[in-house]
Structure 1
Amino acid sequence: MSILSRIPIPCTEITGRPVCLLAALVVLFSILRGLLAPPGSIDLSSAEGRYLLLSGEVLSKETTAEGYGLQLGYITFLEKNEGNTSPYKALLDKLRERWPRKGRIRVFLNGSPDKTLPYSQKPDQADIYRACRIGSRVTLSGKASIPEPATNPGQYDAQKASYARHTYLKLSDVTLKGTDQKHGNLFLNALAFLRLSLRKGAEQVFGSRNSALISAIVLGDRSGLDAETRQLFQDGGILHVLAVSSLHVTLLGLTLYKILRRLRQSFLVSALASGFLVVSYCLMTGSSYSAVRAGVMFLLWLGSQITGRTFDRLTALGAAAILILLRQPLALTDAGFLLSFGCILSLALLEPVFSDIWNPRHALSRRLSGALALQAGVLPCILWFYYQATPYGILVGLIVLPSMSLVMFFGTIGILAGLLIPLGSFFLTSARLAGGPCGYLLDLFRLLCRFAQRLPGDVIITGRPSVWKMVLYYACLLAFCLIIRLPDRKTFLKNRKKIRFFHAGLLLSLFLLMLIQRKPAFRFTCLDVGQGSCALVEQDGLTMLFDCGSSSVKDVWRRRVEPALKFYGISHIDLLFLSHADGDHISGAQELLSGMHGMLPGAACFRRMPPEGISSAQTGDLTLVQRFSAAQAGGIRIGRILLPQTDVTSDGPGMAEVIAAARRFNIPISTVSEGAEFQHGQLHLRVLSPSPGRMTGSDNEDCIVLSLSWKNIRILFTGDLEKEGEEKFTRAYQDAALFSPPRGHSETNSRTILLAGHHGSRNATSEGFLSLVRPDLVLISCGRNNRYGHPAAAMLKRLEDRGLPCFRTDQSGAFCLTAD
């Protein structure tokens, strides 16, 4: 008899849950759908930046911190009076041919102007928001754009997330051309009006400090959260409490259900009333995946109460998955969907096993066992999407999660009372008193997260794990759970101490499996930061960042640079070079330093520093120390910042802010000039500019220019070098052997990569400079459709005449070169 035949197969578990089996088939269908028709297969790029005239039915309305939003469906693209041969007519033909049947368009409308920035605000479009009623058909004209795809490693793919919800275009700069004057869906319009009123009430009741958090927790609107609060809750491991989920739905629905039952109402009446409340709440908060999942499960629980049948959590979970995936198959790739369902699966499948092993006897130990089971179940998914783990999140959650019912209660009472504010100041005072405890609880959450931030190891950056690691992780965890749940498990669990030791060792080994990453010997990445510059170099444990800024991407550090570093598993920037003080080269560094926080005494980071040192006749000895500053932001630390040694180094508020923040957190700052060299194994770094004898007085032209060599690869970083500075540079190195092949390599097997100066401007990368450097590839870091016209046509013509290949971040995203 084989060993497989002796393993009991839980046939009753499968046959007793046909919905779960059907859900598994739907998941398989969704996977095949994603493989056969990936989101990027729909090409609507021809509509980018074009003004379209269209009509559609308003499916939903929303209010955010930035303004208002509409979702349009059943789209019809309309013609303009431009003739049948116009380019617009050709565009319409393409759109009508390629537009998906279920395609939607998201419309952005301007909110109330910010009085502090009157010169940069557009007029309020609340009148359009009010005129467009849900269920009515409207005609709009506006500027079309496609959702932003991920162009960097680790970047959030807004395009994939939008396509999963059948939203294929965005419309801004909108003009309302007409409506059908119908009242539309009265129920949905009432919910949209209620959400807008509640959001305004939250701002008055809870003030600017807490209104964004209350709106996120109660109304599911996280658009008003500032980057600092979002980072604080993420580092504390409790960001998930800001998403509408089972906690919110159960609290509202179950509370009403129990009240009606105590009032001696029938099961049917109580279930209908609480079910109506839950459905209305889910629709009002935006119908996120977690809200829909929680709502479906709660409705099925109500059904079990009416019929007197047993509620099965896995069956309800399977039904929710079927409902979502049949409508939106690509939801299977969404972090919110996977984590929401993963949490319930972990509690249903792993928590009983953990309880059998650890046998918790007290409420606190039971909560801890459940939290560990939940974390063990969703850890690979968290690392796949967020590239980091927060070990103290379990402990913070033990205090936060039980308190969330109070936050929801007082927060809901406060914003509901805010609806009465127009009746008089007395009601404003009463609403603030009613919601007062909520503010104190939120302050407690902030305090706990800040304390966790200051502990060593608060954020462990792992990078994205390999698929085979995730498969092995779940296979080992599932095999262990099946063994524990064997029919004779009572005999198996008699030796509980050994089982606990083995269980703890297994969990630790699986975590270390996800933590350990094999990195290449050398990796160079030129990130797409829009109209700016940022390049990353990794070599044998050393990490260097060359510039970090953008003038076209808001929050460039949080949106572009930080995700790339965490995707690669980088937690330390050993050397941060800032070529000069322009915002498109340092704004990301400003953002990183402004988000840093100190650590508790003794929590400073020590790590082996492989560099042999960097020195210069002008700057003195700059040998790198082993002790990093204790300050960090999101788990990332800086070893040293290097600036150009010029008379204009600290000119401008941006660079002054960088220097002040670095000094505040004891991050070493050094200035470098021509002659500074750095050797680390086979990597050689040389500073070529600025030079005391070639100063022009221009910030751009006196920037840092670096030459990096590794084996047969040479990379030249030129910052914003152009015009007179480039001419002086060319004359200074005309007779030098600087750009000859690296030692031990010939012309045929060596490669030189040039980062074009000043984002490919007309006056940079001249003929003389190209003749001196003799690059094999030119990289141009510039923004899409930027207002400066970069890269200039004259510069591209020079490259074309020489037959030089050109890689542009505005067209192809990040450039990555990996070598072993």
Structure 2
Amino acid sequence: MRGRPLCVIGMAFFFSFFFLLTEWPLPVYNDSTFDGQTITVVGEVSRKECKNGKYQIYLKNASCSDRINSNEQNRTGKSGVLLYLSDHYDMPEKLPRLGSNLRVKGKKRLFDQASNPGQFDTARYYQCRGMDYCLQNTVILWESQSCNYYAECMYRVRQYLTEVFLSVCEKQDAEILSAVMLGEKNLLEPDMKDMYQRSGAGHLLVVSGLHISLVGYALFRGLKMAGLMQTAAALIASFFVYSYALLAGMGTSAQRALIMFLTALFGECIGRAYDLLTSLALASLVLLFQNPLLVLDSGFLLSFGSIMGIGVLLPAFDRLLPAKGKLISSFKASLSVSVFTFPITLYFFYQYPLYSIFFNLVFVPLMSVLFLTGFLTLFFGIISVKAGMTAAVLPHLILWVYEKGNCLYAELPFGNLILGRPEKGRILLYYVLIASAVGLSGYLTEETTGKERCIRAAVFCIAAGAAALMLFPQRPEFEAVVLDVGQGDCNYIRFQDFHCLIDGGSTSVKEPGKYRMEPFLKAKGVQKLDLVFLSHMDADHVNGIYELMELASEGGVQIGCILIPPSEESDEPYQRLREASTQAGIPLKFMKKGDCVSHGRLKIFCLYPEKKVLVSDDKNENSMVLKVENENFRGLFTGDLEGRGEEELLASLREEQYILLKAGHHGSKGASSESLLRKIRPRMVTVSCGEGNSYGHPHQEFLNRVQEVTEGVYITKDCGAISIMGKNHKELQIKCYKEER
């Protein structure tokens, strides 16, 4: 970094902001005034897009009033507001123009905050984009005459060019080309995004800053060759690149490319040499001064991290591996990006595509060809649909290669290493070690003396130590977590390298397996669940497990075996579960009273039910009850047990103290009776239920009983995920996710 003061300042600013904002995050907007009520808002249109066939508008500098018909705005501060437009606005022509001022009305809603480790935090995501809350079913009351005419023009050009792609290409090709060349990512199917991300090729589905710069440089050189003065050529090329970045949505990658391109042209015009890292540092400082929260955005970090890897690590790899050739150079560039972005990828996605370094050797060079052929397809498609369809054959062939490559990747063993989210201290130490290795490599020369060999060995040892920090994280020996899945149940147990779930479902959360359970497991570094216990077959205990079984076939968390209480063969829920588990290749077994599963010092006993002839037709009264125990922990998980089922359990339950009772039936008044509480004397009781659930869980009668026995009552709707971890009962730590986030 010698001779690069701006780069040093930029990196110091960047790392300081990252660690400060992750350790002490800024509070998200939580003003619940008028939440769920219809309000009016005034603001300026900054962005508009279509997602899942619905149009959305981003308002900046917005303010609201508490009365719909009030002419006087109660201005309590400027906010960013996301508008979900009503079904009336079903065409682009009906949308307001970019830069215009609007008066709108709609139902105010706060964005959801994550309540479990690994869960996507919608509120944080939109906070990074300057949005504080949203309005649902929005109606536009008034629009100003003034607007940003040039931005609106670029938006309409993008819509037109997208329609050209859709008219001359196959649907899937048109969606990918629109994303790659025009920044129109909202057309992409979720399955397509997932397929590219699993192979480490998700970066191909955004407008490439490299190609924006290359097009600008090509124009600049062409104008100079045509006899234009350097300054005039630079101004025209800069205006073109700015227009293209604006057309592509002015995303993080496009803004970075624009700033770096302008820096390069300015340097050439004043006769100064271009420095990649200094230009990158300037771009990061400009963007972070505008919005410091971008340092928490995965797109920003991966975009800048990729260029930083090329600028910092590639020269070091050239010194360490002096072999030359196009393929070797491409490999070293791919390796540089992968090494630098390794912790970033794990921090946001919890897994790493192991073979992406090699696949990108094919994918990345083909992007330039795809970009060129996509441009030709647009050009001929504007002239003639038939000509465009003929030209579309070329990008189709490249996209076919991508598709087959992604399919091949999905078949490879260990394609995605689920390693979990690394701690921030480990990330910092990783980059310190990488910086040390890079600094040490600076002493290498072309000679092959003993000193050179020692330096190389030291560099590789330091790099191996850095990799080990990410590959082998330290975790507590024991952990029990009651997840917040809304109105449902899901409990996670880990002891050393053993992982299991007790139930997994919800009736109030959409796709709990995909959006809460699997992200949690991946964040914990769980590649395989050894066992899944299902207390009974109600949807709020099992529907997420069905999702996990489907996701396992797509490279998700694997399941070793599913254990259920005795069921009748003719029972429809049992039949469905058996068919799903058979199709997924997962063994399904019964577990009854007296059965035990053990892993080292951890034992899981089934305490109920005892036999196949069940005591009641009520599924809740036949819930499987599990006792989870090691020398320092004892927990009772009762499913939805209540009534006669609980009476039968009490008849054979031994009197002993438990650390944890997972309350039966979400804290219903008919569950966790006083007799049960007196017999097990729990130190803490957890209740899993959803916010504002229609059943009124937990019932006050239940809370009154529990509070007479213990003061440690934890409810997921209030606490989020509830974690108990540690090595012994004296050192057990209880953490509530909502208090820590």
Which residue of structure 2 aligns with residue 459 of structure 1? 416
CA contact (8 A) 1:593 1:633 kept: no
| Alignment map for 1:171-250 (pairs within 5 Å) | 171-180=135-144, 182-250=145-213
Which range is displaced more, 511-520 or 19-28? 19-28
Pairing 1:735–2:651 present: yes
1:306-342 Cα distance to aligned partner (Å, 9 max, x none): 4443211122111101110111112222222222222
Distance in 2, matches of 1:366 and 1:177, equals: 58
CA distance change for structure 1 residues 229 and 530 in 2, over 3 Å: closer, same or farther? farther
Matched, 1:639 2:626: no
The answer as to whether partners of 2:552 and 2:559 remain within 8 angstroms in 1 is: no
1:795 offset after TM fit, Å? 4.5
Counterpart Cα distance in 2 of 1:327 and 1:531: 40
Amino acid in structure 2 at the alignment position of 1:475: V
What does 1:110-149 align with in structure 2 at a 5 Å threshold? 123-126=87-90, 130-149=94-113
Q: Indicate if the aligned counterparts of 1:718 and 1:756 stay in contact, CA closer than 8 A.
A: yes
For the residue of structure 2 that corresponds to 1:331, the secondary structure is: helix
Paired residues for 1:532-551 under 5 Å? 532-551=488-507
Distance 1:229 1:208 in 2: 12
1:811 is aligned to 718
Give runs of aligned pairs for residues 99-110 of structure 1, distance below 5 A. Answer: 99=77, 101=78, 103-109=79-85
Q: Report the Cα distance in structure 1 between the residues aligned to 2:200 and 2:68, rounded to whole angstroms.
A: 56
Deviation at 1:279, TM superposition (A): 1.6
Superposed displacement of residue 368, structure 1: 0.9
CA distance in 1, matches of 2:569, 2:638: 18
Q: Contact conserved, 1:646 with 1:702, CA < 8 A, in 2?
A: no
Checking the alignment, whether the CA contact within 8 Å between 1:247 and 1:405 is kept in structure 2 is no
**Counterpart Cα distance in 1 of 2:449 and 2:183:** 44
The code of the aligned residue for 2:172 comes to: R
Contact between 2:6 and 2:278, CA under 8 Å: does it hold in 1? yes
Q: Distance in 1 between matches of 2:500 and 2:24?
A: 39
Within 1, Cα distance between the matches of 2:546 and 2:237? 49
Question: Structure 1 residues 21, 672: CA separation in 2 closer, same or farther (over 3 Å shift)?
Answer: closer
Shift of 1:523: 0.3
Deviation string, structure 1 residues 244-274 (Cα, Å, up to 9, x no partner): 3323423443444455455554434443333
Matches for 1:678-717 after TM superposition, within 5 Å: 678-690=597-609, 691-717=611-637
Distance 1:351 1:673, change over 3 A: same
CA contact (8 A) 1:39 1:160 kept: no
Whether contact under 8 Å (1:64, 1:221) holds in the other structure is no
Q: Which runs of 5+ in 2 are unaligned?
A: 728-741
Tell me, yes or no, if structure 1 residue 755 matches structure 2 residue 711: no
Matched with 1:79 is: 66
Map 1:33-52 to 2 at 5 A.
34=21, 38-40=25-27, 42-52=29-39
Identical counterparts, % of pairs: 28
Deviation readout 1:523-556 (Å, 9 max, x if unpaired):
0011122333221100122111122233333343
* 1:688-715 per-position Cα deviation (integer Å, ceiling 9, x unaligned): 3444233433444434332222335332
- In structure 2, give the amino acid aligned to 1:19: L
From the superposition, tell whether residues 275 and 586 of structure 1 become closer, same or farther in structure 2 (CA, over 3 Å): farther
Residue 668 (structure 1) aligned with residue 574 (structure 2)? no
In structure 2, what is the equivalent of residue 510 of structure 1? 466
1:167 to 124, 131, 134: 131
CA distance in 2 between partners of 1:452 and 1:687 (Å):
41
| Contact 2:28–2:124, Cα closer than 8 Å, also in 1 | no
In 2 relative to 1, CA 58–594 (structure 1 residues): closer, same or farther, beyond 3 Å? same
**Deviation of the 1:227 alpha carbon:** 4.3
SS of match in other structure, 1:524: strand
Name 2:543's counterpart in structure 1. Answer: 587
- Residue aligned with 1:536, SS: strand
Counterpart amino acid of 1:668? Answer: P
**3-state DSSP of counterpart to 1:720:** coil
User: Contact 1:62–1:192 at 8 Å: present in 2 too?
Assistant: no
How far does residue 640 in structure 1 lie from its aligned partner after superposition? 0.8
* CA distance in 2 between partners of 1:215 and 1:777 (Å): 54
Cα shift readout 1:399-445 (whole Å, capped 9, x = no counterpart): 0000011222333444566667xxxxxx4444333223323322322
Instruction: Report if the CA contact (8 A) 2:309-2:337 is conserved.
Output: yes
- Whole-angstrom distance in 1 between the partners of 2:640 and 2:189: 32
Q: Structure 1 stretch 514-523 or stretch 763-772: which is displaced more? A: 763-772
1:53 aligns with 2:58: no
Aligned equivalents of 2:387, 2:310: Cα separation in 1:
40
Determine helix, strand or coil for the equivalent of 2:10: helix
Aligned positions of 1:185-334 closer than 5 A: 185-261=148-224, 263-334=226-297
- Of residues 642-651 and 185-194 in structure 1, the stretch that sits farther from structure 2 once superposed is 642-651
Query: In the superposition, relative to structure 1, how do residues 147 and 221 fare at CA in structure 2: closer, same or farther (>3 Å)?
Result: farther
Matched, 1:403 2:359: no
How far, CA to CA, are the matches of 2:436 and 2:250 in structure 1? 36
Q: Using the alignment, how far apart are the partners of 1:154 and 1:755 within structure 2?
A: 25
Stretch deviating more after TM superposition (798-807 or 273-282): 798-807
Offset from partner CA, 1:356-411 (integer Å, 9 cap, x none):
22113210011111222222222222222222222211000000000011222333
Q: In the superposition, relative to structure 1, how do residues 493 and 281 fare at CA in structure 2: closer, same or farther (>3 Å)?
A: farther
Alpha carbons of structure 1 residues 105 and 41: separation in structure 2 relative to 1, 3 Å: closer
> 2:342 aligns to what?
379
Structure 2 CA distance for partners of 1:83 and 1:286, relative to 1, 3 Å: closer
User: Residues 350, 407 of structure 1: CA spacing in aligned structure 2 closer, same or farther, 3 A cutoff?
Assistant: same
**Contact 2:180–2:208, Cα closer than 8 Å, also in 1:** no
Q: Which residue of 1 aligns with 2:432?
A: 475
TM-score, structure 2 length as denominator? Answer: 0.89
> Which deviates the most, 792-801 or 353-362?
792-801
One-letter amino acid of the structure 1 residue matched with residue 614 of structure 2: R
CA contact (8 A) 1:109 1:129 kept: no
Q: 1:651 aligns with which of 572, 579, 582?
A: 572
Structure-2 residue corresponding to 1:350: 313
Cα distance in 2 for partners of 1:433, 1:128 equals 28
- Distance between the aligned counterparts of 1:168 and 1:797, measured in 2? 38
Match status 1:368 vs 2:331: yes
> Matched residues in 2 for 1:470 and 1:584: separation?
37
TM-score by length of 1: 0.81
- Corresponding residue pairs, total: 726
Q: Distance in 2 between matches of 1:452 and 1:316?
A: 35
**Matched residue type, 1:685:** I
Moved more, 709-718 or 408-417: 408-417
Distance 1:755-1:240 versus aligned 2 partners, 3 A rule: farther
One-letter code aligned to 2:684? L
Cα deviation code 1:439-469 (max 9, x no counterpart): 3322322322332333232222222233343
Residue in 2 that maps onto 1:67:
54
For 2:734, the equivalent position in structure 1 comes to none
